Chain A
Amino acid sequence: MQSILLGVDRLNAFIGKLFAWCIVILMLAICYEVFRRYVLRDPTTWAYDVSLMLYGTLFMMAGAYTLSRNGHVRGDFLYRKWRPTTQARTDLVLYFLFYFPGILALIYAGWGYFQLSYMLNEHSSFSPDGPVIWPFKAIIPFVGVMMLLQGVVEVVRCLICIRDGDWPQRLHDVEEMEKIILDEAAAKAEQQSRQEATLTAIERDATTRGSL
Chain B
Amino acid sequence: HAQAPIRLKFQSTWPNKDIFHEFAGDYVKRVNAMTGGRVELELLPAGSVVPAFQMLDAVSSGILDGGHGVAAYWYGKNKAFSLFGTAPAFGWDADELLGWVRYGGGQALYDDLVQNTLKLNVVGMLSGPMPSQPLGWFKKEITSAADMKGMKYRTVGLGADLFKEFGAAVTIVPGGEIVPAIDRGLLDGAEFNNPSSDLVLGFPDVAKVYMLGSYHQALECFEILFNKTKFESLPKDVQEILRGASDATSATMMWKAQDRYSKDLEAIKARGVKVLPTPKPVLEAQLKAWDVVIANLSADPVFKKVVDSQKEWAKRIVGFRLEYEPDSKFAYDHFFKTA
Q: Which residues of A approach B to under 8 Å, CB–CB?
A: 37, 41-45, 48, 116, 119-120, 122-130, 133
Q: Across the interface, name the chain A residue whose C-beta is closest to B53.
A: A125
On whether the beta carbons of A43 and B170 are closer than 8 Å, the reply is no
* A-facing residues in B159-210 (Cβ within 8 Å): 160-161, 163-164, 169-173, 186
Q: Across the interface, name the chain A residue whose C-beta is closest to B118.
A: A120
B144 proximal to A (CB < 8 A)? no
On whether the beta carbons of A126 and B171 are closer than 8 Å, the reply is yes
- B110-144 vs A, CB cutoff 8 Å, 1 = contact: the mask equals 00000000110000000000000000000000000
> What are some 16 contacts across the A-B interface (CB < 8 A)?
A43-B150, A43-B169, A44-B169, A45-B170, A116-B57, A120-B77, A123-B76, A125-B53, A125-B73, A125-B74, A125-B76, A126-B172, A127-B169, A128-B160, A128-B164, A130-B76
Q: How many A-B pairs fall under 8 Å by CB?
A: 48
- Dominant secondary structure at the A interface: loop
* A-facing residues in B38-89 (Cβ within 8 Å): 53, 57, 73-78
On whether the beta carbons of B150 and A42 are closer than 8 Å, the reply is yes
| Minimum distance in angstroms from A32 CB to a CB of chain B | 14
User: How many residues belonging to B are interface residues under a CB distance threshold of 8 Å?
Assistant: 22
7 nearest A-B residue pairs (beta carbon): A125-B76, A43-B169, A128-B160, A128-B164, A128-B161, A41-B150, A126-B172
B152 proximal to A (CB < 8 A)? yes
Q: Across the interface, name the chain A residue whose C-beta is closest to B171.
A: A48
| Contact partners of B74 in chain A: CB under 8 A | 125
Q: In the docked arrangement, what's the CA distance between A133 and B169, Å?
A: 19
On whether the beta carbons of B169 and A125 are closer than 8 Å, the reply is no
Q: In the docked arrangement, what's the CA distance between A124 and B53, Å?
A: 11
If A125-B73, A128-B161 touch, whether A37 touches B150 (CB-CB below 8 Å) is yes
| Minimum distance in angstroms from A136 CB to a CB of chain B | 12
| Contact partners of B173 in chain A: CB under 8 A | 126
| Contact partners of A124 in chain B: CB under 8 A | 76
| Contact partners of B75 in chain A: CB under 8 A | 125
Q: Across the interface, name the chain A residue whose C-beta is closest to B159.
A: A128
Q: Across the interface, name the chain A residue whose C-beta is closest to B75.
A: A125
| Contact partners of B57 in chain A: CB under 8 A | 116
